[in-house]
Amino acid sequence: MKPTLLVLAAGMGSRYGGLKQMDGLGPNGETIIDYSIYDAVEAGFGKVVYIVREYFKEDMKKHVEARYANVKTIDGKPLEFVFVTQELDKIPAGFNVNPERVKPWGTAHAMLMAKDVIHEPFAVINGDDYYGKESFKVLGDWCRAHENSKGQYCIIGFELENTLSENGSVSRGICRYDGKGILQDVTEHLDIAKADDGKVYGENSTTGEKVELAAKALCSMNMWGFTPDYFGQSEESFRTFLTNYGMELKKEFYIPYAVDTIVKSGKGQCEVLSTPSKWFGVTYKEDRPGVVAKFADLVAKGVYPSPLYK
């Protein structure tokens, strides 16, 4: 069994100033997604599903067709690609929503767009985050181990200090888990940054309180693993979300919210898996030079070939 990689690439990139998922950051114009797919193929993934917006779907497809034409899975077969779109009106029938809303419904809603094309254990990543080879290996191994499972999920936790930006504050979901590594909840913290005293502080989104955060705390960077029955559970959770928040202009149906709802209903459990990899990404335009330098360094060290694809 080869697991599927689901790439969340429908974001608007408002803080970045453009489509991050199409920005060439490697020495030969490689995007962050290019490196993620390279690592996923090495880790045994066999299919890639892109979540995109309709207005740039064709540009993304052309990029994929040109870039990955010769890419093979570990057993020598062509890597499969599927594109699905996230749009505001793609919701269950019978719900009244605010007609003035323009913002999409969030990452867990984006995932639901793929429910008809994924039937095996799968991984979820952001299209504008670099996760590292080890993270994909951990996730690939987990997916294969859960081929015949139901209600089993996992999250790859990154050490908070390895996910901060030098160019502004960030939002992160801090994982709380029990002694067996089972996720209890993910609490979103806003405005996270390292202060002059060297400590990391952020605002608890639930209480509004500014708190000190452990530098080694494991946080969510939206790298998850799921068994395919997740879709049915998440769809049920989305209906409840729309009932409660359908008239809101900005409230979003995020993956941690969906997972938390399922776990607390007793219909699933989520493991927290750690990774030695260091995350990096492009939240702000000012992050770009640093990311370009990091990819150049990885190539210089022989971690990746250049060009990445031939």
Helix (H, G, I), strand (E, B) or coil at 240: helix
Q: Could you count the other beta carbons within 10 Å of the beta carbon of residue 38?
A: 19
Rounded percentage of the chain residues whose pLDDT exceeds 90: 60
Local confidence band at 310 (pLDDT 50, 70, 90 cut-offs) = confident
Most confident of 64-73, 99-108, 233-242, 277-286: 233-242
Give the Cα separation of 80 and 4 in Å (integer). Answer: 9
Alpha-carbon torsion angle 68, 73, 77, 79, nearest 10: -40
Residues 44-54 pLDDT 10s: 999 999 998 88
- Rounded CA gap, 83 and 7, in Å? 10
Which CATH superfamily hosts domain 4-300?
Answer: Spore Coat Polysaccharide Biosynthesis Protein SpsA; Chain A (3.90.550.10)
Please say if the pLDDT value at position 35 is more than 80: yes
Predicted confidence band at 21 (pLDDT cuts at 50, 70, 90)?
low
Min mean pLDDT across 101-105, 192-196, 245-249 is at: 101-105
Cis before 307 (ω within 30): yes
Dihedral sign from CA coordinates of 20, 22, 27, 33: positive
Residue 207 has a pLDDT of 86
φ, ψ for residue 135, nearest 5 deg: -65, -40
Please state, for a pLDDT cut of 70, what percent of the chain lies above it: 96
CB 123 within 8 A of CB 139: yes
pLDDT tier at 15 (50, 70, 90 boundaries)?
very low
Residue 282, classified by CB atoms within 10 Å of its CB into exposed (0-12), middle (13-18) or buried (19+), is: buried
pLDDT of residue 19: 54
pLDDT at residue 18 tops 80: no
Q: How confident is the model at residue 11 (pLDDT cuts 50, 70, 90)?
A: low
Q: What share of the chain is helix, strand, coil (3-state, %, to 5)?
A: 30, 25, 45
Q: Which of 2-16, 153-167, 240-254 has the lowest mean pLDDT?
A: 2-16
Mean pLDDT within 252-271: 91
Domain boundaries, the chain: 4-300
**pLDDT at position 20:** 58
Buried b or exposed e, range 53-76, using 16+ CB within 10 angstroms: beebbeebeebbeebbeebebeee
**Average confidence (pLDDT) over 240-248:** 91
Most confident option among 99-108, 115-124, 193-202? 115-124
Distance CA 9, CA 52 (A): 5
What single letter denotes the amino acid at residue 67? R
Q: Model confidence over 220-241: pLDDT tens digits? A: 999 999 999 999 999 999 999 9
Q: Is the pLDDT of residue 14 over 50?
A: no
Characterize the bridge pairing of strands 129-130 and 152-159. Answer: unpaired
